[in-house]
Structure 1
Amino acid sequence: MTFQNTLQFAQQLDQQDELKDYRNQFIFPQHNGKNVIYFTGNSLGLQPKSAKTFVDEVMSDWATHAVEGHFYVEKPWWDYHERFAEPLSKIVGAKPSEVTVMNTLTVNLHLLMVSFYRPTATRYKIICEEKAFPSDQYMFQSQVNHHGYKPEDAIVEIKRREGEHNIRLEDILAKIEEVGDELALVLFGGVNYYTGQVFDMKTITEAGHKVGAIVGFDLAHAAGNIKLELHDWNVDFAAWCSYKYMNSGPGNASGCFVHEKHHHSDLPRFAGWWGHNKERRFKMEPSFDPVHGADGWQVSNLPILSLAPYLASVEMFAEVGMEKLIAKRNQITSYLEFILHEIDKEVNSTFEIITPSKQEERACQLSVFLHGEGRSLFDYLMKNGVITDWREPNVIRLAPVPLYTSYEDMYNFGQILKQGILNH
C-alpha cells in the first residue's frame, strides 16, 4: 500500500479498519475535551469499559454472598482462574493446561526459577540480553547470589555490536554455543522493552536445548502483541504481565506458561495450597500433591478483584483473535513509521527509528531516537495531548495498540510533532 500523509487518507484507512469499533470500548483520558493520542499501551493499556462491569459483579457477589461467593455465584471464585485457560492459551500459543494466572510478573519469574534454574558446580550460567528490563536484571543478580555465585561470573549478557541498536540473532546463537556445557538457563525478553526488538524465540529455544540448557522468556512486551507459539516452540517456561497490551489495570496479575513436558516431573517448586490437588484442597492434607499442569505452580488463592478486569480484556481478545490484531498492528505501525519519515523530511530533522525495520523483528512499538532534540520536545507532546514515554538518553517509545489507536491518531501525532519541532 502507498501511504499518504493526509487527514483524508488516514480517515479512509479508519473506515476500512474492521477493528475500528473496538476503540469505542475503551476509556481515553481527555485533553481539551478530546481523546488523547495514547502511545503508552506498552506501559499501561487503556481501561476497557467492560472492566468496571466485571469488577462490580465481584463486588456485588461479595456483598450478597460473602464467603459463599466462592461457590454459589455465576462466576465462582473457587475456579475463577480457570476461565483464563482457553483464551490465554490462544494468545500465547499453548495448551490450556500449560497456562495459569497468579501473582505479578517478577514474583512469577522468581517462582519459576525455583524450578527451572538448578545450577550445578559446572553448569550455572544464565544468558540474557544486554539492557534487559531492570527488574529482570535484579532478579538474575539475586538468584545467582542466592545460589552462591557471583553475578559477574554467572550472568552472561548478549551485547549489541558497536554502533548498532539491536542484538543480532547470530550473536545470541554463537554465545549459547560458546557457553555450552556451563549454560544452565537462557532467559530473554520476548520483546526488548527499550528498542522494541522481537527476538526469534523458536531459534533461541532450539539453540539452548541443543547445549542442554533450560529456556524461558519474559513476555511482558510480547503477550497480546505478537504471535506466540510457546508449546510448538518447545519453550520450557514463560511469564508475562497483563496490564500492558492486555489492558487489565495497573500492576495487575501475571500469566504463566509451563510446558506440558514438565507437568509430571519431579522439579522442585515453592508450594502453596492453591497449587494442591483441587479435589482434595479443602481436606487440609499435610503433604503437597500438585495439580497437574501450570496451575500446580500456584501458591495462594487468587485476588479475584484483580482478575476481574483481566478477564474482561481476555474475553475481548478471544472475540477479536490475534490474527486480526496482528494484521492491524502491522499496518498501523507501518503507517506511523511513514508519518515519522515524512515529518522528518519536512522539518529537516534527524529522527532515527532504532526498532528493527523488518516486520518479523518488531511488533507495535517504535522507539525513536531524537537526534538534536531534547526532553523539551517530549514535554511539548505531553502538553498537547500526546501520551508517550521518555527513555534516556533521548528516546521516545510509541506503541500504536491496534485495539484502540486509529490511523487519524497517527496523522494528528505527526502534525503535533512537526509543530513541536518548529516551535523549539
Structure 2
Amino acid sequence: MSTPTADSPSLAAGEAQARRLDESDPSHRHLFHVPPADGGSYSESAYLAGNSLGLQPRATRDELLADLDAWGRLGVEGHLEAERAWLPYHELLTAPAARLVGGRPAETVVMNSLTVNLHLLMVSFYRPAGARTRIVIEDAAFPSDSYAVRSQARFHGLDPDDTVVRLRPRPGEDALRTEDVTGYLAAEGDRVALVLLGGVNYLTGELLDIPAITAAGRAAGAVVGWDLAHAVGNVPLALHDWDVDFAAWCSYKYLNSGPGALAGVFAHERHLGDPNLPRFEGWWSTAAATRFEMTPVARPPATVEAWQISNPPIFAMGPVRTSLELFDAVGMSALRARSLRLTGWLEQLLDEVTADRPLSVVTPRDPARRGCQLSVRIGAGSAGELTKRLRHEYGVIADAREPDVVRFAPVPLYSTYHDCWRAASALAALVGQSTKGGSA
C-alpha cells in the first residue's frame, strides 16, 4: 500500500482527520434521531445499518401526531376536512415519489408492502405462454423475491425448479457481470417471460446496470421489472427514461419511513389504461371521481392507481410523506455525490484493515457499480457474533448476513466520516491479523 497523505484515509490519522472531513463535507445528521451507543466511549452510535432500517427523521413524530389530532378533532369528517384530507392523502406522496424514481406521476403510487406489490404486479406482467415461461432472477436475490417468483410459477401450474432461472456470478467472483446477464437474455430470451432483478443487491451492494439489462430484456421480448428496495433513495433512478416495465420498492431502508413502512410501485405509461392487462381490483382501483357512486363495476383510471386495491392507511403514509419531503429538499444528485465521497473513504479505510486480516470486501470497487453499501466477508467465525461485538463493545451498528458477511452502509443523509473511522477501527480491533493467527 502507498503511504497515506495528509488528506487520504488512515486509521492511524484517527479522529482528527475524520472530524476535519465532517466539517468540510457535513451530513444532515441533525435532522435524525441517532440511537445512543451501547458500547465504547461515544454517546451516539456509529449507525451504518440504514440499508436494513433507516433512522427516524426528527420531523416524523410531530407530523404523525398532527394526523392523529385530526382524527381526534374531526372523526369521519377528516376524510375531507383535515388539513391533509385523508381521501386524497396518497396524492401528496405521488409527485415526490415519482421524482425520486425518475417516473411520471401517473406511473407512480405509494401503497401496500414490497412483496405484496410484487405479487400484484406479477398478476399483470408475468403471463407465461408456450415456451416463454421463465423468470430470471439473480442467485443472490433477497429470499422474499425468490419465494414470490417460485410461488408465481406454481400458481401458473409450472415447476419452479424449471421455471426460475438464477443467474450466478462467474466462479471466484461475487458480483454479476452485466454482459453475462445480457448475454443470457440474447441467447435464451425467447424462453423468458419475466426478468425480475434487484437494482442494488442486498448482499453484495452491487448496483446492476438497470438501463442496459432492461434494454436487453425488452429486446428479447420479455417483461422487465425491478426490485428497488436497496436502490431507491440510494442511487439516482430514471425508470421512465430507461423504459422499465414495472418496479417496486420499500421505504423503510434508505427512505427512513419506519419499520414495515408503506412501499411504492412504478408501471410504465405504455401499460396504463390497457384493458387487456389483467389486474386484481378493489375499491381504490376505480376512478376517484366516481368512487362514491358505489357502482358494482370498477372504472379504473388510466394511471398506476388502477393497481391500488384498498384505501391507504393514513398514519402509515405520514412518515413516507415526511421522508419524501426531505429528499426533495436535499436532492438525490447531492446525496449521490456525497455518497461517492463517503463510501470511497470507508473503502480506503477497509483496504487498510483487510490488507493483513482474514477479511475481504465483496462489493464492486467501481463506484458506478455500487450504492453506499460495502459488504465485508469474514474468514472465520459468525457474522452475527461480530456485529454484536461491534455494537456492544464499540457502539458501531452494522448488519450481518449469515454466515460470513457484515454489511456497512454509510448513508449520505446522516452518516459521517467519523462513523466510518469508528467502524473501520473497531473492525481492525476485533479481527486479528493473519500473521498473528487471529480470527473474528
Q: Which amino acid letter does the alignment assign opposite residue 370 of structure 2?
A: R
Name the residue aligned to 2:19.
11
Closer, same or farther in 2 for the Cα pair 1:339/1:172, shift >3 Å?
same
Spell out the pairing of 1:24-423 with structure 2 (5 A cutoff).
24-31=30-37, 34-266=43-275, 267-345=277-355, 348-372=356-380, 374-375=382-383, 376-384=385-393, 385-422=395-432
Work out whether residues 37 and 46 of structure 2, in 8 Å CA contact, stay in contact via their aligned partners in 1. Answer: no
Q: What CA distance in whole angstroms lies between the structure 1 residues aligned with 2:255 and 2:239?
A: 18
The offset of 1:215, in angstroms, is: 0.4
Question: Structure 1: which 5+ residue stretches go unaligned?
Answer: none
Q: Deviations over 1:54-75 (max 9, x none)?
A: 1101110000001111110111
Q: What CA distance in whole angstroms lies between the structure 1 residues aligned with 2:307 and 2:106?
A: 12
Question: Structure 2: which 5+ residue stretches go unaligned?
Answer: 433-437
The offset of 1:250, in angstroms, is: 0.3
Q: What CA distance in whole angstroms lies between the structure 1 residues aligned with 2:310 and 2:195?
A: 28
Q: Deviations over 1:348-407 (max 9, x none)?
A: 313211000011110100000122454443332021211111112211000010111111
Q: What CA distance in whole angstroms lies between the structure 2 residues aligned with 1:343 and 1:114?
A: 47
Q: What CA distance in whole angstroms lies between the structure 2 residues aligned with 1:227 and 1:31?
A: 32
Q: What CA distance in whole angstroms lies between the structure 2 residues aligned with 1:373 and 1:122?
A: 46
Work out whether residues 127 and 176 of structure 1, in 8 Å CA contact, stay in contact via their aligned partners in 2. Answer: no
Q: What CA distance in whole angstroms lies between the structure 1 residues aligned with 2:312 and 2:367?
A: 38
Determine which of 9, 19, 29 is the counterpart of 1:23: 29
Q: TM-score, normalised by structure 2?
A: 0.93
Q: Which amino acid letter does the alignment assign opposite residue 213 of structure 1?
A: A
Moved more, 27-36 or 210-219: 27-36
Q: Percent identity?
A: 44
Q: TM-score, normalised by structure 1?
A: 0.96
Q: Which amino acid letter does the alignment assign opposite residue 16 of structure 2?
A: Q
Work out whether residues 198 and 226 of structure 2, in 8 Å CA contact, stay in contact via their aligned partners in 1. Answer: yes
The offset of 1:312, in angstroms, is: 0.8
Q: What CA distance in whole angstroms lies between the structure 1 residues aligned with 2:189 and 2:322?
A: 44
Q: Which amino acid letter does the alignment assign opposite residue 33 of structure 2?
A: I
Q: What CA distance in whole angstroms lies between the structure 2 residues aligned with 1:152 and 1:411?
A: 45
Q: Deviations over 1:297-328 (max 9, x none)?
A: 10000011111111111100000010010011
Work out whether residues 276 and 289 of structure 1, in 8 Å CA contact, stay in contact via their aligned partners in 2. Answer: yes
Q: Which amino acid letter does the alignment assign opposite residue 413 of structure 1?
A: A
Q: Which amino acid letter does the alignment assign opposite residue 102 of structure 1?
A: M
Q: Which amino acid letter does the alignment assign opposite residue 357 of structure 2?
A: S
Work out whether residues 178 and 209 of structure 2, in 8 Å CA contact, stay in contact via their aligned partners in 1. Answer: yes
Q: What CA distance in whole angstroms lies between the structure 1 residues aligned with 2:311 and 2:388?
A: 43
Name the residue aligned to 2:435.
none
Q: Which amino acid letter does the alignment assign opposite residue 369 of structure 1?
A: R
Q: Deviations over 1:170-194 (max 9, x none)?
A: 1111111222222111110101101
Moved more, 366-375 or 65-74: 366-375
Q: Secondary structure at the match of 2:90?
A: helix
Q: Secondary structure at the match of 1:352?
A: strand
Q: What CA distance in whole angstroms lies between the structure 1 residues aligned with 2:284 and 2:398?
A: 39
Work out whether residues 380 and 404 of structure 2, in 8 Å CA contact, stay in contact via their aligned partners in 1. Answer: no
The offset of 1:208, in angstroms, is: 0.8
Work out whether residues 355 and 366 of structure 1, in 8 Å CA contact, stay in contact via their aligned partners in 2. Answer: yes
Q: Which amino acid letter does the alignment assign opposite residue 376 of structure 2?
A: V
The offset of 1:105, in angstroms, is: 0.3
